[in-house]
Chains A and B, each alone.
Chain A
Amino acid sequence: MSRRYAFPHVGWMAVFVVVPLVLIVGFSLTSADGGVTLDNFSDMMKYAPVFGRSLWLSLISTAICLMIGYPLAYVMSREKPAVAAAALMLLMLPMWMNFLLRTYAWMSILENSGFLNQLLNVFRLPNVHIINTEAAVVLGMVYNYLPFMTLPIHTVLHKMDKSMMEAAGDLGANSAKTFMRVVLPISVPGVISGITMVFVPGVSTFIISRLLGGGKTLMLGDLIEMQFTGNAYNPYLGAAISLVMMVIVLLSMSVMNRFGDGGESAVVL
Chain B
Amino acid sequence: MVLTGIFLYSPIALMIVFSFNAGKSRTVWSGFTLDWYSQLLKNELILNSLYTTVLVSLLAAFFATVIGTAAAIGFHAMRRRVRQFFMTVSIIPAVNPDVITGVSLMLLFVFIRSVTNIELGFFTLLLAHITFNVPYVILSVMPKLKSLNKHLFEAALDLGATPFRALCKVILPEITPGVVTGALIAFTLSIDDFVISYFTAGSSVQTLPMTIYAMTRKRVSPEINAISTLLFLVVLTLLVIINIAQRKESRRVKH
Chain A positions near chain B (C-beta within 8 angstroms): 1-10, 12-13, 15-21, 23-24, 27, 68, 72, 75-76, 87, 89-91, 93-94, 96-109, 111, 113-115, 118, 143, 146, 200-201, 203-204, 206-207, 211, 221, 224-225, 228-229, 235, 238-239, 242, 245-246, 249, 253
Give 16 A-B pairs besides A5-B70, A7-B74 with Cβ atoms closer than 8 angstroms.
Answer: A1-B153, A2-B77, A3-B78, A6-B77, A13-B90, A16-B131, A17-B89, A24-B104, A91-B4, A96-B232, A101-B227, A103-B216, A108-B14, A111-B27, A224-B103, A242-B103
Per the bound structure, the CA–CA distance linking A24 and B243 in Å amounts to: 43
Residue among A17, A114, A204, A207 making CB contact with B194, cutoff 8 Å? A207
A75 smallest CB distance to B (angstroms): 6
Residue pairs across A and B with Cβ atoms less than 8 A apart, 16 shown, are: A1-B167, A5-B71, A9-B138, A16-B108, A98-B192, A98-B231, A101-B231, A102-B12, A104-B212, A109-B11, A113-B27, A143-B8, A200-B95, A207-B213, A245-B97, A249-B95
Per the bound structure, the CA–CA distance linking A246 and B98 in Å amounts to: 11
Q: Which residue of A lies closest to B92 (CB)?
A: A17
Residues of B in contact with A, size category: 35 or more
Chain B hits for A225, CB < 8 A: 99, 103
Which residues from 86 to 111 on chain B have a C-beta closer than 8 Å to any C-beta of chain A?
86, 89-90, 92-93, 95-101, 103-108, 111
Chain A hits for B61, CB < 8 A: none
A201 pairs with B9, CB closer than 8 A: no
B18 smallest CB distance to A (angstroms): 7
Q: Which residue of A lies closest to B232 (CB)?
A: A97
Per the bound structure, the CA–CA distance linking A200 and B92 in Å amounts to: 13
* Chain B contact surface mostly: helix
- Say whether B177 faces chain A, with CB atoms less than 8 Å apart: no
Residue among A19, A68, A200 making CB contact with B97, cutoff 8 Å? A200
A24 pairs with B7, CB closer than 8 A: no
Per the bound structure, the CA–CA distance linking A266 and B149 in Å amounts to: 39
Per the bound structure, the CA–CA distance linking A170 and B101 in Å amounts to: 51
Residue among A2, A91, A98, A204 making CB contact with B100, cutoff 8 Å? A204
Chain B positions near chain A (C-beta within 8 angstroms): 1, 4-5, 7-12, 14-15, 18, 26-27, 67-68, 70-71, 73-78, 86, 89-90, 92-93, 95-101, 103-108, 111, 127-128, 130-131, 134, 138, 153, 163, 167, 171, 188, 192, 194-195, 198-199, 208-209, 212-213, 216, 219, 224, 227-228, 231-232, 235-236, 239, 243
Q: Which residue of B lies closest to A11 (CB)?
A: B67
B99 pairs with A16, CB closer than 8 A: no
B104 pairs with A102, CB closer than 8 A: no
Per the bound structure, the CA–CA distance linking A83 and B232 in Å amounts to: 22
B15 pairs with A12, CB closer than 8 A: no
Chain A hits for B212, CB < 8 A: 98, 100-101, 104
B96 pairs with A102, CB closer than 8 A: no
B142 smallest CB distance to A (angstroms): 12
A24 pairs with B103, CB closer than 8 A: yes
Per the bound structure, the CA–CA distance linking A8 and B75 in Å amounts to: 12
Residue among B11, B106, B227 making CB contact with A102, cutoff 8 Å? B11
A1 pairs with B163, CB closer than 8 A: yes
Q: Which residue of B lies closest to A2 (CB)?
A: B77
Residue among A9, A27, A99, A201 making CB contact with B107, cutoff 8 Å? A27
Chain A hits for B74, CB < 8 A: 1-7, 9
Per the bound structure, the CA–CA distance linking A47 and B236 in Å amounts to: 43
Chain B hits for A10, CB < 8 A: 71, 86
